[in-house]
Chain A
Amino acid sequence: DTGVSQDPRHKITKRGQNVTFRCDPISEHNRLYWYRQTLGQGPEFLTYFQNEAQLEKSRLLSDRFSAERPKGSFSTLEIQRTEQGDSAMYLCASSLDRGRSGSSPLHFGNGTRLTVT
Chain B
Amino acid sequence: DAKTTQPTSMDCAEGRAANLPCNHSTISGNEYVYWYRQIHSQGPQYIIHGLKNNETNEMASLIITEDRKSSTLILPHATLRDTAVYYCIVRVDNYGQNFVFGPGTRLSVLP
Q: Which residues of A contact B (CB under 8 A)?
A: 4, 31, 33, 35, 40-45, 47-48, 55-56, 58, 91, 93, 95, 97, 101-111, 113
Q: Which residues of A contact B87 (CB under 8 A)?
A: 42
CB < 8 Å: which of B42, B46, B51, B103 contacts A106?
Answer: B46
Residues from 20 to 59 in B contacting A, C-beta threshold 8 Å: 30-32, 34, 36, 41-46, 49, 51
* Residues of chain B contacted by A103 (CB below 8 angstroms): 32, 49, 51
CB distance from A8 to the nearest CB of B (A): 14
Residue from B94, B97, B99, B101 with most neighbouring chain A CB atoms (10 Å): B94
With beta carbons under 8 angstroms apart, the residue of B31, B41, B97 that contacts A45 is B97
List 14 A–B pairs whose Cβ atoms lie within 8 Å, in order of A's numbering.
A31-B96, A35-B96, A45-B96, A48-B97, A56-B96, A97-B94, A101-B30, A102-B92, A104-B94, A105-B34, A105-B49, A106-B99, A108-B45, A108-B46
Inter-chain residue pair count (beta carbon < 8 A):
72
Chain A residue nearest to B92 (CB atoms) is A102
**Contact call A101/B92, Cβ cutoff below 8 A:** yes
Chain B interface (Cβ < 8 Å from any Cβ of A): 2, 30-32, 34, 36, 41-46, 49, 51, 87, 91-97, 99-104
Whole-angstrom CA separation of A49 from B43 in the bound complex: 19
Say whether A108 contacts B94, CB under 8 Å. no
Please name the 4 residue pairs, one residue from A and one from B, whose CB atoms are nearest each other, closest first: A42-B101, A108-B43, A48-B96, A102-B32
Give chain B's interface secondary structure class: loop
A82 to B44, CA, bound (A): 25
Is B102 in contact with A42, judged by CB distance below 8 angstroms? Answer: yes
Q: A101-B30, A102-B30, A110-B43 are in contact. Are A45 and B93 (CB under 8 A)?
A: no
B100 and A45 within 8 A (CB) = yes
CB contact under 8 A between A41 and B103, given known A91-B43, A111-B43: yes
Q: How far is the CA of A45 from the CA of B91 in the complex (A)?
A: 13
Chain A residues, CB < 8 A from B34: 105
